[in-house]
Structure 1
Amino acid sequence: MQVPPLAELRERYASGTWRPGDCIAFVLDRIARVDRPEVWITLADPAALRERAARLDALLHAEGPAVLDRLPLFGVPFAVKDNIDVAGMPTTAACPAFAYVPERSATVVERLEAAGAILVGKTNLDQFATGLNGTRSPYGAVRNAIDPAYVSGGSSSGSAVAVALGLVAFSLGTDTAGSGRVPAGLNGIVGLKPTRGLFSNRGLVPACRTLDCISVFARSVADAWTVTVAASGFDADDAFSRAVPMLGVKRRGFRIAIPRQREFFGDAAAQQAFATTVDALRAAPGCTVDEIDFTPFAEAADLLYKGPWVAERLAAVEAFRAEHPAALHPVVDEIIGGGARYSAVDAFNGQYRLAALRREAETLLAGHDFLLVPTTPTMPTIEAMLREPVKRNSQLGHYTNFVNFFDMAALAVPAAPRHDGLPAGVTLIGRAGADHLLAAAAEALQPAFRQEAQATDRVASEPLPFQEPTVLLAVVGAHLEGQPLNWQLLERGARKRLATTTAPRYRLYALAGTVPPKPGLVRGADGVAIDIEVWELPVRRFGEFVAEVPAPLAIGSVELADGSWTKGFVCEPQAIDGARDISAFGGWRAFLARGISPEGA
């Protein structure tokens, strides 16, 4: 038995069948029974864990199940990669000589704990987050959760395996070149790499400061997204944090790009697994799959370790390396030391080439919702990795290294398995701000990915908090939730704020000849209260939405039940001539529920 997923944990706490103390006792017992010491660098003190659980127990006793709404991660055990600060626990970056004990936790850890999560420990990694394989650590090579003979992937190796083995419900990793996705693919779990700057990096030991992202591992997309909602947000204390405008989710099928040139380095099982998933997507209702030239993506991927960005890794640890020349793992030292070869001229020329490649990639992806790639092209054994550490590691990054270069979001999910029984995954990659779109798409496409549907609609219903100017809009008919034109709001990043009524001063009419059928809302002296929904959408998308509103409808101002006013759908008065007055129904849904056509007989 593993640590339950978030929805099940919530149900147990709400029903009283489990309390946080029970969960922590289970976690400590499972860690001992599984006996994978290489997963961890530092475990939290059991007494401190029990004390934290006891405080949450007291909250649950005092507030009842309502506390679960106030604290969305109430009593959820998690782990963090040991290049992320936790107050009072050593940060080693898998280098004992580098270790220090911070007084303050990283911003993301603070936010997760404020949401009720319980930190269990800090996990192993490829030293200084330099590697995609999980073998470059003095604390031991982290073995794969499915078959210990194989690599776990890295650099977030311990974080991924802790989730895959069910030792925690979720974990934090980091991702510069693929470290938050490769271990997910190799261990059969979900890896969410956010848009750069969506998560604060304050309290993170940098690898490449301009590219680094903190990432999330979980066993489902729904769980990963719940963590993202809790952990994300602008942080003025992080120079690379930003308020990321979110794209809307799709509700009308997907246009998917895949690489025309697909490389698996001779791994027929990996090739077969990806082909099976692509075939399933081609057959999925509403999906279109197009092959595009992968050349600019692959060339950008090569720049990360064969270009001047290696010098950024050197910048992160140059002083420590000079003072402790024998402290680094030999392969890590060789890679980082190579950064000294590059000049400022090389760095500028690299930026120019990268800009050109990014523009090519944008052109190739125009009109597509996302790019789909194998998360990894192959799955080497630990023995093979140690025999050819640089070559094999480079292969693992073939489909990942370009993503942060191109300022893209990515979501790695399990997919059709290999015919040898080992896991295989695919990654959905979209432009900056596509985080919610990718999560919702992955949920919608679970059948094609051979995954069981999750018993939750949290991904679809809980977008990230707005970090930009918004406008409220009252809708009354075809744009209501679940109605035929609601997608026009969702695809512009809108979310429902409340269901209410107008002030009792309106009449509602079923307009004749509109497709889909629509009502018209008109203010009048003999009006009644009409059911409406108030939606919030970004100001930057409001103009294009208004431009699509057809006559005789218009966007005006609507008075709500509480006396406030907001923008909303209204109707030109002349359009109600010959239209049926349906005000007595109290709203459009109630009218449709009677099974009467808008023309109404």
Structure 2
Amino acid sequence: MQSLDIASLSAGYGAGTLTPAHVLDTVYARIDQQGERPVWITLVAKADALAQLAAAPKGKLWGIPFAVKDNIDVAGLPTTAGCPDFAYVPSRSAHVVEALQAEGAILIGKTNLDQFATGLVGTRSPYGICSSVFSADHISGGSSAGSAVAVAAGLVSFSLGTDTAGSGRVPAAFNNIVGLKPSKGLLSNRGLVPACRSLDCISIFATTCADALAVLAVTGRPDPEDAFSRSAPQATQTAAWPDGFRFGVPAGRLEFFGDDQAESLFHRAVERLRAIGGMPVEIDFTPFSQCAQLLYSGPWVAERLAAIEDFATARPDCLHEVVRGIILSAKGLSAVDSFKGLYRLAELIRQAEAQWAKMEVLLLPTTGTTYRIDEVLADPVKLNSNLGVYTNFVNLMDLSAIALPAGFRPNGLPFGVTLLGRAFADGKIAALADRLHRALPTATLAATPIPLATTPPIPVDAAAAGTITVAVVGAHLSGQPLHHQLSDRDARLRATCRTAPGYSLYALAKTQPAKPGLVFDGHGAGAIEVEIYEMDAAAFGSFVALIPPPLGIGTVTLADGATVKGFLCESHAIEGATDITRHGGWRAWLASP
């Protein structure tokens, strides 16, 4: 069986053992055998795909077949958003589609979805219900149902979905593929029918983490035409994860909705991540879970109505029954509700900061369980909500995420996990996800017998691999007012320890926020508490640029004799300062009477 992963096709084209025309023959033969519905809403004719190929530039994705969720514009093809009465034909393609075709990728068609991208199940479409490629009785996941199935069934190399509440991750879990949800604004949403415009992310499905990251690298470009576009030049950089990196795991027993097999597979994923060098750290999942509840019980439902208000108000009978109930429920929300929701979100993000200080990446089940199609049709709202427990909070909290396969239940249904990082950690967590995916025994590509090991891993970016260790002593300590300058740069806490003898600590006068000064004078009792952080070299440079005089970065000797870069104070600044050395550290002095 011919694998359609990007790396294999590009290698075959380069070696002359494959041609894009032959690959398109394979793609259309598979589609003919399977049928257009329910995966496709609009299929590009084979002759038109060959015409694309003839005109395609020989860029990084030359000859690579892909699909697009049908709430993303493609010039000349109808955009339905899963609602025939809403359909229109755009004259211009979405920004991401333009970027892909500029690199030579070949569009095969537009895929089925939960109507107006409202759902995590894949059952809310008049174009038919997609099922998992592993079971005709089980849901495919949504709302990016057709996009995920097209990749998992070997019909395209990669596809574009969207992800507001988890729609780019849940279908990945149910089809044994990778779902990369980029940081908000990294991919332009120009040409996307919005669900929640402030939260929407165009997402990427592929069979490997390397392929997903390759697509991200050519689509993650700033777009002045999208008000929510953000620039992050280093977002696709990868870096080595050193032994001892800390990954968060929620304390206590997670909710698997009675799916003991899924729970067992998650625990195995934790052990695999530990085996490749990670150190599990228990975190309080409460702020994340409470944030997840905001998405549909809070004012963000009103944003879904704002996206299609004129159509939904004028033609409510054209909406899918479940989608109509969700979107039109927003008519009861007020501006006051919106502000209350924003205030609550800010509180939960602040609470989550304390948990992020403990970890560099968060490991979660992508979903706690899966369901049969008939179960979802019988109870469409509750079961959909269950699928969002570990996904709904991610865009609200401005996080990056990548879903990856994590094994199979005894009944043959796949299970997946998700790695989450701070905004613009996309490349770094993709590199770790790739290692975790490859640590899975007998990992294969989607629903094929092709081993994952036949594809190349994500290479570590040598420029990003260099790290610098720095000791902080005062306002940058965890829980202190300037700690965000470290967390914003994805700095990783390595240890809490003390300095060697000879250091004195002073509370400096007239600093805002209050700061201490660490001075080596040879007289101090030493044993001053410090936290040791590690960060990328580029991040360290921008961090140092924030340090005001009289503070600076020098070399600090620790109690065990090791030396690190750390905060030191110019000696003239201790005039008029208070000697607090006897307290043994800044936090101890702040807590003293």
How many angstroms apart in 1 are the aligned matches of 2:225 and 2:294?
30
What does 1:292-303 align with in structure 2 at a 5 Å threshold?
292-303=283-294
The structure-2 alpha-carbon separation of the partners of 1:49 and 1:544, relative to structure 1 and needing over 3 Å to count, comes to: same
Which residue of structure 2 aligns with residue 208 of structure 1? 196
Report the alpha carbon displacement of residue 418 of structure 1 after superposing the two structures with TM.
1.9
Structure 2 runs not aligned, ≥5 long: 444-450, 470-485, 491-535, 558-593
Displacement of 1:46 in angstroms is 1.8
> Secondary structure of 1:150's match?
strand
CA distance in 2, matches of 1:346, 1:134: 30
- Inter-partner Cα distance in structure 2 for 1:359 and 1:245: 26
Q: Which residue of 2 aligns with 1:11?
A: 11
User: What is the rounded CA distance, in whole Å, between the counterparts of 2:66 and 2:126 in structure 1?
Assistant: 23
Q: Of the candidates 169, 172, 186, which is equivalent to residue 181 of structure 1?
A: 169
> Which residue identity is paired with 1:97?
D
Of the candidates 131, 134, 151, which is equivalent to residue 143 of structure 1? 131
Q: Hey, what does 2:71 align to over in structure 1?
A: 83
**1:275-323 CA-partner distances (Å, limit 9, x unpaired):** 22123333x1421012211111111111111111111111111100122
Any residues of structure 2 matched to 1:190-209 within 5 Å, and which? 190-209=178-197
Q: Retained in 2: the 8 A contact 1:193–1:411? A: yes
Alpha-carbon offset, residue 547 of structure 1? 4.7
Aligned residues of 1:226 and 1:458 also touching (Cα < 8 A): no
Alignment of 1:492-531 (within 5 A): none
Q: Is the 8 A contact 1:207 1:316 kept in 2?
A: yes
Q: CA deviation at 1:443?
A: 1.9
Query: What's 2:430 paired with?
Result: 439
- Output one character per residue of 1:404-439: Cα deviation in whole Å (capped at 9) or x when no partner: 000000000001322322100000011111101101
Q: Which residue of 250, 260, 263 corresponds with 1:268?
A: 260
Name the aligned partner's letter for residue 146 of structure 1: F
Equivalent residue for 1:420, pick from 407, 411, 424: 411
In the alignment, which residue of structure 1 is the partner of 2:542?
540
User: Does residue 1:331 correspond to 2:322, yes or no?
Assistant: yes
Q: Matched residues in 2 for 1:245 and 1:88: separation? A: 32
Number of matched residues?
A: 481
Q: Return the offset for 1:448.
A: 3.9
AA at the equivalent of 1:55: A
Structure 2 letter corresponding to 1:96: P
User: Which residue in 1 is equivalent to 2:272?
Assistant: 280
- What letter corresponds to residue 42 of structure 1 in structure 2? T
2 CA distance for matches of 1:340 and 1:230?
40
Contact 1:90 1:101 survives alignment (8 Å): yes
CA contact (8 A) 1:195 1:433 kept: yes
The structural deviation recorded for 1:206 is 0.3
Instruction: Give distance in 1, aligned partners of 2:360 and 2:210.
Output: 20
Match status 1:395 vs 2:386 = yes
Work out the CA distance in 1 between the residues paired with 2:457 and 2:226: 29
Q: Distance in 1 between matches of 2:126 and 2:158?
A: 24
Q: Is the counterpart of residue 315 in structure 1 residue 314 in structure 2?
A: no
- Residue type of the alignment partner of 1:168: V
* AA of the residue aligned to 1:280: R
* Partner in structure 2 of residue 25 of structure 1: 25
Q: Does 1:404 align with 2:404?
A: no
- Which amino acid letter does the alignment assign opposite residue 263 of structure 2? Q
Structure-2 change in CA distance of 1:281 and 1:333 (3 Å): same
Q: Deviations over 1:532-591 (max 9, x none)?
A: xxx99465257599957899xxxxxxxxxxxxxxxxxxxxxxxxxxxxxxxxxxxxxxxx
User: Shift of residue 449 of structure 1?
Assistant: 3.8
Opposite residue 540 of structure 1, the aligned amino acid is S
Query: How many angstroms apart in 1 are the aligned matches of 2:279 and 2:433?
Result: 15
CA-to-partner distance for each residue in 1:148-170, whole Å, 9 max, x for gaps?
11000000000000000010000
Please state how far the C-alpha of 1:125 moved relative to its aligned partner.
0.1
- 1:130-165 deviations in Å (ceiling 9; x for gaps): 000000000011111111110000000000000000
Q: Tell me what 1:365 maps to.
A: 356
Relative distance call for 1:237 and 1:373 in structure 2 (3 A) is: same
> 1:569 maps to what in 2?
none
- Would you say the 8 A contact 1:440–1:459 is kept in 2? yes
Gap runs ≥5 in structure 1: 60-66, 463-479, 494-534, 552-601
1:234 to 2:222 alignment: yes
Over 3 Å counting, the alpha-carbon distance change for 1:285 and 1:120 in structure 2 is closer
Q: Deviations for 1:241-297, whole angstroms, at most 9, x for unmatched residues? A: 011364763431321101124101111121121122123333x14210122111111
- Asked if structure 2 preserves the Cα contact closer than 8 Å seen for 1:208 and 1:313, the reply is yes
Q: Distance between the aligned counterparts of 2:119 and 2:553, measured in 1?
A: 49
Contact 1:443 1:453 in 2 (8 A): no
For the structure 1 residues 281 and 315, does the alpha-carbon distance in structure 2 shift closer, same or farther, using more than 3 Å as the test? Answer: same
The equivalent residue for 2:113 is 125
Q: Aligned in 2, Cα 1:290/1:10: closer, same or farther, shift over 3 Å?
A: same
> CA 1:369 to 1:250, structure 2 compared with 1: closer, same or farther past 3 Å?
farther
CA shift digits 1:57-90 (9 cap, x unpaired): xx7xxxxxxx4xxx11110000000000000000
Give the fraction of aligned pairs with identical amino acids, expressed as a percent.
52
Looking at structure 2, the residues matched to 179 and 355 of structure 1 have their Cα atoms a distance apart, in angstroms, of: 24
**1:389, 1:290 → 2: CA distance?**
35
1:460 maps onto 2:459 in alignment: yes
Distance in 1, matches of 2:376 and 2:128, equals 14
Q: Aligned partner of 2:239: which letter?
A: V
